[in-house]
Amino acid sequence: MVELTQLMENEVFMAFASYTTIVLSKMMFMSTATAFYRLTRKVFANPEDCAGFGKGENAKKYLRTDDRVERVRRAHLNDLENIVPFLGIGLLYSLSGPDLSTAILHFRLFVGARIYHTIAYLIPLPQPNRALAFFLGYGVTLSMAYRLLRSRLYL
Amino acid sequence: MVELTQLMENEVFMAFASYTTIVLSKMMFMSTATAFYRLTRKVFANPEDCAGFGKGENAKKYLRTDDRVERVRRAHLNDLENIVPFLGIGLLYSLSGPDLSTAILHFRLFVGARIYHTIAYLIPLPQPNRALAFFLGYGVTLSMAYRLLRSRLYL
Amino acid sequence: MVELTQLMENEVFMAFASYTTIVLSKMMFMSTATAFYRLTRKVFANPEDCAGFGKGENAKKYLRTDDRVERVRRAHLNDLENIVPFLGIGLLYSLSGPDLSTAILHFRLFVGARIYHTIAYLIPLPQPNRALAFFLGYGVTLSMAYRLLRSRLYL
């Protein structure tokens, strides 16, 4: 068996691993938030989910949508749409030998922007709080993509 | 050109590759299931998709939603929301040098939980079948995240 | 600190990195397209987003859905559903030592198919343009998954 520890001894890669794990855990928290609001507000998408709250027609009244639940779901989808590119581009960027402090700055800004985006979405804070958080994370990912394509383009 | 075969000679990484390929293929199957229900039930989201079923107003009646199609789409989105964290955290976990049998246990439980989640969603089975499958997969990913952050935190 | 440049000296991996960065950047463009249509058509999902367009009831009239915006969002979600499997399976496939020209053919077909899918969705082109683009990208990913599982299955 070959030693893979070399990847995890690379500081950029370790930093990427840490920040990615944090931002993905944050994204997973959105599932819990959705479940929490669905249960406390009794708002469900599937008939089998509200079977415990009554029988027949009585249960069907819980098959509805709710502003709060939809808001959490939009925040979750926005996370997916932005964290997936970060995951792919960030991984390749980390392997392309960037400067350690530049790389960590990218990761910190992205994770901070996404956490602030979630806070701004869920409270909600007035615009442009959420928009700025979105564009900061977006810009960080584009900056890594630009560096990758400029230095390593191979088509 | 450098030999990369060392990564693929690592047993944990090979196991991760196999289980990931299986769970992503399962997720891709959801697209086919959506297409199947859309075509057999004539339920479409875009005007151009139902142009073959009639002209003008006659075709527009197929622009509708359907419980069965929406159920498959919710299952697909739930897959995305859970398999993306597994992909990122699992990859980094595999590279962090975990014990082989522990790692394989994590991968098997996750893939089993997601397959059972899909079955429970599509049949549908009464709750808490789907909820338990969801939380099992969720817990497996969190367990890998915890191990990563405890042993390799680098911020 | 260990040199990681070996991964980036591998031609298949460099090609994967380039095509992945391109297709993820294309996917990120969908966010901008959604924002563009939301702002030009004044169609919003959150009360705080339309606060700048009027007060009270006057602003609430912009909380609506719009065919154009929904179309972009469906294209974006379809991207996510297809690019996530490509990301995971393609990464593992790249590391499994495939033939360079075969690998590049896979990546080119996938990226071309997804770009054509977006064009066919947004214009929109009549079917089966979009369906063919979808199945081409789908087939490419399955072909990589098949190769991975056949040569490296480890369960």
User: In a mutagenesis test of the C interface, which of B10, B29, B46 is the best target, namely the one with the most C β-carbons within 10 Å?
Assistant: B46
Residues of chain A falling short of pLDDT 70: 1-8, 54-56, 152
Please provide the DSSP assignment of C82-97 as one string. Answer: HHHHHHHHHHHHHHT-
- Of residues C152 and C22, which shows the higher confidence score? C22
CA distances to A56, B90, C73, C135, C147 from B32, rounded to whole Å, are: 32, 26, 19, 10, 21
Contact C73, C100 (CB under 8 A): no
Q: CA-to-CA distance for B64 and A15, rounded, in angstroms?
A: 47
Right CATH for C2-38+67-152 from 1.20.120.160, 3.40.920.10, 3.40.50.720, 1.20.120.550? 1.20.120.550
> What was the ipTM of the complex prediction?
0.83
Q: State how far residue A48 is from chain C, nearest Cα, in angstroms.
A: 26
Residues in chain C within 8 Å Cβ distance of A133 = none
What is the per-residue pLDDT across C83-122, written as a single tens digit (0 to 9) for each? 999 998 998 888 888 889 999 999 999 999 999 999 999 8
Q: CA-to-CA distance for A144 and A150, rounded, in angstroms?
A: 10
The CA-based diameter of chain A, rounded to the nearest angstrom, is 63
What is the per-residue pLDDT across B81-130, written as a single tens digit (0 to 9) for each? 999 999 989 988 888 888 899 999 999 999 999 999 999 998 888 888 88
For chain C, the domains span 2-38+67-152
Could you tell me which of B31, B33, B27, B62 has the C-alpha nearest to residue B45? B62
**Which residues 95-114 on chain C approach chain B with CB closer than 8 angstroms?**
95-97
With a CB cutoff of 8 Å and minimum separation 6, the contacts of C3 are none
Closest residue in B to C71 (Cα–Cα):
B46
Interface contact B89-A21, CB threshold 8 A = yes
Could you tell me which of B14, B24, B13 has the C-alpha nearest to residue B115? B24
Instruction: Give the dihedral sign, CA B6/B2/A20/B74.
Output: negative
Count Cβ neighbours within 10 Å for each residue of C99-121 and write b for 16 or more, e otherwise.
eeeebbebbeebbbbbebbbebb
pTM above 0.90, yes or no: no
Q: Does A45 touch chain B (CB under 8 A)?
A: yes
Interface contact A18-B154, CB threshold 8 A = yes
What region, left, alpha or beta, does residue C54 occupy, with left being phi > 0 and alpha being psi -120 to 50 degrees? left
Neighbours of chain A (3+ CB pairs under 8 A): B, C
Closest residue in C to A70 (Cα–Cα):
C45
The SS3 of residue A150 is helix
